[in-house]
Amino acid sequence: MSSHSAICRLALVVGLLLSAPGAWAKLEFNRDVRPILSDKCFACHGFDAETREAGLRLDTEEGAYSFKDGVQAIKPGALQESEVWHRITHSDEDELMPPPESNKSLTEGEKEVLKRWIEDGAKYQPHWAFVPPKKRATEVVSGARNPIDQFIGARLKEEELSFSPEADHTTLIRRVTLDLTGLPPTPQQLDQFLDDAAPGAYERLVDRLMATRDYAERRAQDWLDLARYADTRGFADDKMREIWPYRDWVVRSLHDNMPFDQFTIEQLAGDMLPNATDAQRIATGFHRNAPQARGQTYPVEEYRLKGVTDRVNTTGKVWLGLTLECAECHDHKFDPISQRDYFSLFAIFNNTEHSGKGHGQGGPTMKHHYTRGGKSEDERKKLEAELNKARAALPEQHLLGDDGLLGQWDRVHPDAGNEKFNLTGDLTITARIKTRQKVASVLSKYDWRGKQRSYVFGIGGEGEKEAAPGHLFFWVSSRTDPFDGVSLYGSQPVNDGEEHRVSVVFEAGKSVRLFVDGVEDKSARVIGKVPGTIAISNRPLAIGVGYRNDAGAKAYRFEGDLRDVRLYGRALGKELGSGEAGERVAELMAALGGGKSEGKEVSVPVMREMSKPRDTFIHLRGSFLSRGDQVGPAVPRILANEGEAQAGNRLEFARWLVNGKNPLVARVVVNRFWQSYFGHGLVRTSDDFGSQGTPPTHPDLLDWLASEFVESGWDMKHINRLIVTSATYRQAARISSVHREKDPNNEMFARMPRVRLPAEQIRDQALAIGGLLKPLAGGPSVFPPQPDRYWEDRDLPGKWVASKDDDRYRKSLYTYWRRMALHPTMELLDAPARAVCVSKRTTANLPTQALVTLNAPVFVESAEGLVKRLLLEPGDLKARLDLAFRLCLGRRPAPAEQIKFIGFLENHPSKSKDAAWVSVATILLNLDETITRP
């Protein structure tokens, strides 16, 4: 926790100042003084002119030294002539600064620091993060493997600490494998590394790991937290959006080691690149990840603007490490970012189309074709051959009978009667159709424009985004207005000019199913909740034609053969299907992703610039209703370099960020890399490099890494490799009494910290150990089982239909990420819902988490999977125990552990051998050692 480290740091400074003047007794403004001024004074005497008191500003030298009414706030070197000193030590509460009611009182230690500083000449320094990084030489220290260690080692020496010894090889391989791939080392990987006695074995291991897709997937996880990537739009309706191609783009780019400058430009402005490729446009999904209320949420403009502010704030955090959001309502109180700066950035992001109407996504999308992830061409061909065979084996269709039949028609009929067809419960509609139309009504008692909804069955929908031309659709609503019910969309086209028997069966409150030619369409998409009742519409029943805001049916007229249209007032069952043969066809079609061998098409949210930019105004006090000055696009003044052309749009802004001159970007990015391995960054507040953030513990190392990053051509793998091959990273993790005493928070890195695995890795590791993990890459998000009624009990729209087969066991990266109700395994283990950009996860250590890894089905299955693996292992108890330990912990059991576990197995009360082993597997999956990166 960052604030905690600040305590220790300050205590250290104050302690040194108050006792023996040591190396730290020489004050440094940025390190020692600025944090105090920033925290206690800047709110009223800082950058924000609006709230500046008495015209005094203490954030600049000029302000602090200036005279007012003959009084000087700070006179360098002259304590008694500095008004500030008198005011912060005043005995009169009315004169005392900061005012007692502000709850910002200075401690004795802080006063002492300010006293020293004034006496020493009150020298100011520009805020460190706004000064471009420079590579500085460092002394050579023993034990160093690369420059990182020179900086860390030099500082350790200064603090009278030293490196911990190198961790043993089994710890090292487990550490680096978990860190780089998110998975534990396999026994083969263990052997390969442990048997490699030649020099450079560790580096070769690192190279092997970094070349895997697992590496890219693990790094993508951190980036997706920043990108607030999720599969839903947020807010109450929290609908699905198909933005997963963006997730796959991130994985692929990281796998290819795309240079970070390109990685930046494509995500922020790929759509604006000349001849932008589809991939570059998909990359812009980065900023379409912003939560988006449904278009009709009032007031529309406010919710559009929420998306824009989210883009500005996220960009600030991810690339600049600045809390720009503070400047939305007023000038930043701590950092030199004005409200005008904020809205100049706002102007850059304010030009994306936004429909703001209806239930749509409210923004531009692009079509993206894909073939189902994970299926190889061979597998697909095999399935297709089987499908053709199964189709040929389909029997003739059953006769449907007249039980519950309410009507039968063989032609288009705009008014087939009314009251008789006011169905409120179960129903079935079937028809024989032959058409090439993309949109056509089959049967309708439904008029959404006229607010007379009931039920409708047809082809291609009525203009809504979810519909697919030529595919069947069925809607039923429990309210005439607004829609409140379920929509069903077929997975395959039926407008191929061949005759098809199409049917839909609605079971009130239970299910809705689609059949084509006697085969249930199990890949049909169900959106919303199946209602318990159907609303009564005053529109007459229409056959082969529908309504458009008019009591008479005229729209969506069916062209082609329409016959044997039947409406039943009950849910038909088996007679619609073709028995087992039909089931088999349905299964094969589902396995092929809906029977379309050429794959599917999704609409991916992307950025698209409007041809004419919107006007942008400053929002006074942050309210979009109070317009201030109009502003044009610009970068924050403090970051603008002389002689540079002003960034006039998103693309120019993105290029400006990574032109190598920005003092923040490279630092912010390498700091997060560091954080990913060491649990915290060199700057602990990884999302705040401003004056309220903590200054870097190792400024020269941070600058060296940042410079190296830019010089290497923004090579991400290079920096990650430097970090994990350093001696600093290879240290043992043992915490000694010296560490506890001198550096309890490990700010000096005299040891490697142990880090509890992130939620995804806890699950993925268990699946891998249990031999269940399916290493399939990419594609639509999957639905590993979650507790029954988890969404329903919260009345969330939609239904979690657990994935089958391989998709149950994919990496957690591919789990459907619902912002308003994350999969509980992820949520309970501290994964963020990603409603906003997350730079660092918080990690708790809770009993509810213990219950997950002890009892949740996926962990129970993993334990059972592990036992299966163990029982296949030839050899005795000891050999199996060896394997179990190696799979879970990357090491063999110590003698005492072996005795204990064998005793446990032999004395297990259960008669079944398996049960005893499942117990052992549960134990191993729940050890602190197992769920912690060593």
Using CB under 8 A as the binding rule, the residues of this chain from 308 to 347 that contact other proteins are 317, 323, 326, 334
Q: Determine the Cα–Cα distance for residues 3 and 1; give it in Å rounded to an integer.
A: 6
Give SS3 for 68. strand
> Which residue in the set 352, 478, 616, 728 belongs to the binding site for other proteins (CB under 8 A)?
478
> Which residue in the set 295, 693, 778, 865 belongs to the binding site for other proteins (CB under 8 A)?
693
Least distance between other proteins and beta carbon 860 (Å): 5
Least distance between other proteins and beta carbon 436 (Å): 40
Considering the rule CB under 8 A, would residue 844 count as an interface residue with other proteins?
Answer: yes
Contacting range for other proteins; rule: CB under 8 A; set: 114-122, 186-194, 420-428, 820-828: 820-828
Q: Determine the Cα–Cα distance for residues 533 and 248; give it in Å rounded to an integer.
A: 41
Write the CA distances from 242 to 246, 247, 347, 361, 799, integer angstroms: 9, 10, 27, 10, 16
Both tokens assigned to 816? 């459907």
Considering the rule CB under 8 A, would residue 229 count as an interface residue with other proteins?
Answer: no
Interface residues for other proteins in 895-914 (CB under 8 A)?
896-897, 900-901, 904, 908-910
Least distance between other proteins and beta carbon 39 (Å): 5
> Which residue in the set 25, 736, 872, 876 belongs to the binding site for other proteins (CB under 8 A)?
736
> Which residue in the set 796, 826, 867, 881 belongs to the binding site for other proteins (CB under 8 A)?
796
Contacting range for other proteins; rule: CB under 8 A; set: 236-244, 336-344, 512-520, 713-721: 236-244
Hey, how many other C-beta atoms are within 10 angstroms of the C-beta on 110?
Answer: 21
Least distance between other proteins and beta carbon 34 (Å): 12
> Which residue in the set 640, 733, 748, 776 belongs to the binding site for other proteins (CB under 8 A)?
733
Taking residues 750 to 789 in sequence order and writing x for each that binds other proteins by CB under 8 A, - otherwise, the string is ----x-x------------------------------xxx
Rounded to 5 degrees, φ, ψ at 483 are: -60, 135
How would you classify residue 497: left for phi > 0, otherwise alpha for psi between -120 and 50, otherwise beta? left
Beta strands in 137-243 (DSSP E): none
Interface residues for other proteins in 867-896 (CB under 8 A)?
896
Contacting range for other proteins; rule: CB under 8 A; set: 432-440, 557-565, 723-731, 831-839: 831-839
> Which residue in the set 81, 83, 609, 827 belongs to the binding site for other proteins (CB under 8 A)?
827
Interface residues for other proteins in 507-536 (CB under 8 A)?
529, 531
Taking residues 260 to 299 in sequence order and writing x for each that binds other proteins by CB under 8 A, - otherwise, the string is -------------------------------x-----xxx
Considering the rule CB under 8 A, would residue 684 count as an interface residue with other proteins?
Answer: no
Considering the rule CB under 8 A, would residue 627 count as an interface residue with other proteins?
Answer: no
Rounded to 5 degrees, φ, ψ at 530 are: -70, 115
Give SS3 for 298. coil
> Which residue in the set 28, 39, 278, 466 belongs to the binding site for other proteins (CB under 8 A)?
39
Q: Specify whether the CB–CB gap between 224 and 247 falls below 8 A.
A: yes
DSSP string, 231-268: SB--TTT--B---HHHHHHHHHHHHTT--HHHHHHHHH
Looking at the Cβ atoms of 209 and 925, the one nearer to other proteins is: 925
- Cα-only R_g, the chain: 33
Considering the rule CB under 8 A, would residue 836 count as an interface residue with other proteins?
Answer: yes
Tokens 């930043």 locate to 332
Q: Where are the alpha helices (DSSP H) in 355-488?
A: 377-392
Tell me the pairing of strands 471-477 and 485-493: antiparallel
Considering the rule CB under 8 A, would residue 820 count as an interface residue with other proteins?
Answer: yes
Q: Determine the Cα–Cα distance for residues 711 and 708; give it in Å rounded to an integer.
A: 5
Considering the rule CB under 8 A, would residue 236 count as an interface residue with other proteins?
Answer: yes
Q: Determine the Cα–Cα distance for residues 210 and 204; give it in Å rounded to an integer.
A: 10
Q: Determine the Cα–Cα distance for residues 758 and 829; give it in Å rounded to an integer.
A: 7
Helix (H) or strand (E) holding 287: helix 285-288
Contacting range for other proteins; rule: CB under 8 A; set: 18-26, 122-130, 700-708, 829-837: 829-837
> Which residue in the set 466, 499, 575, 830 belongs to the binding site for other proteins (CB under 8 A)?
830
> Which residue in the set 188, 275, 376, 845 belongs to the binding site for other proteins (CB under 8 A)?
845
Considering the rule CB under 8 A, would residue 3 count as an interface residue with other proteins?
Answer: yes
> Which residue in the set 18, 393, 846, 872 belongs to the binding site for other proteins (CB under 8 A)?
846
Tokens 């000029």 locate to 62
Taking residues 140 to 179 in sequence order and writing x for each that binds other proteins by CB under 8 A, - otherwise, the string is ----------------------------------------
Least distance between other proteins and beta carbon 48 (Å): 13
Contacting range for other proteins; rule: CB under 8 A; set: 35-43, 467-475, 571-579, 645-653: 35-43
Q: Specify whether the CB–CB gap between 9 and 694 falls below 8 A.
A: yes
* Count of H-run helices and E-run strands, the chain: 31, 20
Q: Specify whether the CB–CB gap between 828 and 848 falls below 8 A.
A: yes
> Which residue in the set 99, 126, 450, 824 belongs to the binding site for other proteins (CB under 8 A)?
824
Looking at the Cβ atoms of 444 and 685, the one nearer to other proteins is: 685
Q: Determine the Cα–Cα distance for residues 19 and 878; give it in Å rounded to an integer.
A: 59
Contacting range for other proteins; rule: CB under 8 A; set: 85-93, 421-429, 516-524, 794-802: 794-802
Q: Determine the Cα–Cα distance for residues 726 and 359; give it in Å rounded to an integer.
A: 52
* One-letter amino acid for residue 397 of the chain: Q
Rounded to 5 degrees, φ, ψ at 857 are: -50, -40
Hey, how many other C-beta atoms are within 10 angstroms of the C-beta on 806?
Answer: 15
Looking at the Cβ atoms of 299 and 358, the one nearer to other proteins is: 299
Looking at the Cβ atoms of 550 and 792, the one nearer to other proteins is: 792
Least distance between other proteins and beta carbon 796 (Å): 5
Least distance between other proteins and beta carbon 2 (Å): 7
Candidates 544, 546, 543, 542; CA nearest to 559 is: 544
Write the CA distances from 229 to 3, 66, 291, 605, integer angstroms: 28, 49, 10, 12
Q: Specify whether the CB–CB gap between 485 and 410 falls below 8 A.
A: no
Considering the rule CB under 8 A, would residue 741 count as an interface residue with other proteins?
Answer: no
Interface residues for other proteins in 93-112 (CB under 8 A)?
103-107, 109-110
> Which residue in the set 710, 821, 866, 887 belongs to the binding site for other proteins (CB under 8 A)?
821
With CB under 8 A as the rule, give the number of residues binding other proteins.
104
> Which residue in the set 561, 793, 873, 876 belongs to the binding site for other proteins (CB under 8 A)?
793
Residues 6 or more apart whose CB falls under 8 angstroms from that of 674 comprise 681, 682, 705, 723
Considering the rule CB under 8 A, would residue 854 count as an interface residue with other proteins?
Answer: yes
Write the CA distances from 183 to 174, 213, 336, 435, 771, integer angstroms: 9, 12, 43, 52, 12
Looking at the Cβ atoms of 27 and 390, the one nearer to other proteins is: 27
Least distance between other proteins and beta carbon 856 (Å): 5
Considering the rule CB under 8 A, would residue 842 count as an interface residue with other proteins?
Answer: yes
Q: Determine the Cα–Cα distance for residues 438 and 70; give it in Å rounded to an integer.
A: 83
Contacting range for other proteins; rule: CB under 8 A; set: 115-123, 202-210, 380-388, 851-859: 851-859
Q: Is the dihedral of CA 588, 591, 594, 600 positive or negative?
A: negative
Q: Determine the Cα–Cα distance for residues 903 and 462; give it in Å rounded to an integer.
A: 69
Least distance between other proteins and beta carbon 463 (Å): 22
Looking at the Cβ atoms of 6 and 16, the one nearer to other proteins is: 6
Both tokens assigned to 143? 């034990």
